[in-house]
Amino acid sequence: MSGYHVVNIVGDDGGREMEVASKKIAVLMEMRRSWIARCQGLVNRKQSTTEWKLQQGYYVSLGESTLNLDMFQQFRRDVLQLRETSHDGACRSASRNRLDILYRKYSMFANLNKEHERQAVIDNREQQPGKIPYSQHVSVSQLQDQPVGSNFVEISQIITLTVSDSLQIPKRDADLITASEHVNKPLSLRIKASSTLTVGQQMTALFLPFWLHDQTSDFITSRVHEIVYEPCGSHANSELPDLPKTVPVDSIAQSVPDIILLYTLWCNISTVNEQRYRNNMPQLTFSIGTTSRDHLIGGFLLCSKIRNSIILSSVPVLQYVYFLSGIYVAASPIRESKAEREILGSYANHPIKILLSIGLRVSLEAEPHRKVSSSSYVTPSLDYEIATASNVLHLTEMDMYETAYHSFGVVDDSNSGVNFIRSRLPKARLQFRQATLLSEHELLRTSCQRFVSRTISSAENSYEKRHRETEAYIQLGRLDINGPEELPNSKLSAAAEKIRSLLVMRKRRMELPASLRDRTIPILKEQFADQPMQAIDPILSLELFKKTGIFGCEDNEKYHNFRADYADICQTITMPDVIEFSRRRLLMLGNKYDIHASLRRLEETGFDAVGRTVKVQDHRDFYQCVKVDTHVHMAAGMTASDLLEFIREKLDYQNDDVISVQPDAQGNKHVVTLSDLMKKLNVTSKDLSVASLGVQADSSVFQRFDNFNSKYSPLGKADLRTIFLKTDSKQNEEAMDVLEGRYFAELIKKTFKRMNHNHYAEYRISIYGRSIGEWDRLATWHSTNGMGSHKNTWLIQIPRLYHLLRRNGSVKCFADVLFNIFFPLWDASANPGKHPQLDHFLRHTSGFDCVDSEDVIDVPLDSKTPHEWCDVENPPYAYWMFYISENVTALNKFRASRGQSLLSFRPHSGECGDPKHLAAAFLTVDGISHGIQLRLNPPLQYAYYLAHIPIAVSPLSNNSLFLDLEQSPFPEFFKRGLNVSLSTDDPLFFHHTQEPLVEEYSVAGKLWRLSSTDLCEIARNSTRHSGFPASVKRNWGGIYYMFDSSLGNDVSKTHVPDIRVAYRYEVYHDEILFLERIRTLSGRPPPPPVPKFMRTLEEEDSLLSLVGVTREEVISKQLQHAKL
Query: Which residues carry out catalysis?
Result: 930
**Residue 795 φ/ψ, nearest 5 degrees:** -115, 135
Task: Say if strands 153-163 and 132-139 run parallel, antiparallel, or are unpaired.
Answer: parallel
CA-based R_g, the chain, Å: 37
DSSP 894-917: HHHHTT----EE--EESSSS-THH
Q: What angle do CA 201, 202, 208 make, to 5 degrees?
A: 85
Distance CA 302, CA 287 (A): 8
State the greatest distance between any 2 C-alpha atoms of the chain, in Å, as a whole number: 130
DSSP 132-163: EEEEEEEETGGGGSPP---SSEEEEEEEEEEE
HEC per residue, 1013-1066: HHHHHHHHHHHHHCCCCHHHHHHHHCCCCCCCCHHHCCHHHHCCCHHHHHHHHH
User: Where are the alpha helices (H) located in 654-712, listed in sequence order?
Assistant: 674-681, 690-693, 705-710
690: helix, coil or strand? Answer: helix
User: Where are the alpha helices (H) located in 246-309, listed in sequence order?
Assistant: 258-278, 293-302
Distance CA 937, CA 573 (A): 7
**Amino acid residing at 22:** S
Distance CA 630, CA 385 (A): 52
Cβ contacts of 945 within 8 Å, gap of 6 or more: 586, 589, 976, 977, 978, 979, 1071
Provide the β-strand partners of residue 155: 134
**Residue 799 φ/ψ, nearest 5 degrees:** -70, 140
Q: With beta carbons less than 8 A apart as the criterion, state whether 252 and 218 touch.
A: no
Crossing angle of the two packed helices 1030-1037 and 1012-1025, in degrees rounded to 10:
170
The Cα-based distances of 906 to 397, 927, 951, 955 in angstroms read: 47, 5, 9, 18
55: helix, coil or strand? Answer: strand
DSSP state, 761?
E
Distance CA 582, CA 190 (A): 51
How far from chain centre, in Å, is Cα 487?
A: 31
Provide the β-strand partners of residue 60: 53
816: helix, coil or strand? Answer: helix
974 by Cβ neighbours in 10 Å (0-12 / 13-18 / 19+) ranks as: buried
Q: With beta carbons less than 8 A apart as the criterion, state whether 283 and 43 touch.
A: yes
CA proximity to 846, closest of 407, 611, 518: 518
Distance CA 298, CA 552 (A): 81
